Amino acid sequence: MPEPLLHISDLHTRYGATPVLRGASLSLASGEALALTGPSGSGKSTLALAILRLLPPGGAITHGAIRFGGANLLGLPPGQMNRVRGTGIGMIFQQPRPSLTPVRTVGSQLIEVLRVHRGLDRPAAQREAAAWFERVGLSGLLDRYPGELSGGQAQRAALAVALAPGPDLLIADEPTSSLDTDTEARILDLIADLQRETATAVLLITHDA
Ligand code: ADP
pLDDT for 96 equals 87
CA–chain centroid gap for 19, Å, is 25
pLDDT for 98 equals 82
* C-beta neighbour count of 114 within 10 angstroms: 25
CA of 59 to the centre of ligand 1 (A): 9
Q: Which of 168, 170, 169, 140 is nearest to 153 (CA)?
A: 140
Mean pLDDT, the chain, whole residue set = 94
What is the C-alpha separation between 198 and 30, in angstroms, rounded? 11
DSSP state for residue 204 in the 8-state scheme? E
Residue 24 CA: distances (Å) to CA of 9, 19, 111, 120: 6, 12, 37, 39
- Write out the chain's pLDDT in tens, 209 residues: 678 999 999 999 999 999 999 999 999 999 999 999 999 999 999 999 999 999 999 999 999 999 999 999 999 999 999 999 989 999 999 988 888 999 999 999 999 999 999 999 999 999 999 999 999 999 999 999 999 999 999 999 999 999 999 999 999 999 998 889 999 999 999 999 999 999 999 999 998 65
- Tell me if residue 178 falls in helix, strand or coil: coil
CA of 15 to the centre of ligand 1 (A): 8
pLDDT for 207 equals 81
Q: State if residue 46 touches ligand 1 by the CB under 6 angstroms criterion.
A: yes
**What does the CA dihedral 125, 127, 132, 138 come to, rounded to 10 degrees?**
120
pLDDT for 117 equals 94
Strand blocks (E) in 33-128: 33-38, 59-68, 71-72, 89-92
Q: State if residue 145 touches ligand 1 by the CB under 6 angstroms criterion.
A: no
Q: Which domains does the chain have, with CATH numbers?
A: 6-206 (3.40.50.300)
pLDDT for 209 equals 56
Strand blocks (E) in the chain: 6-15, 18-28, 33-38, 59-68, 71-72, 89-92, 169-173, 201-207
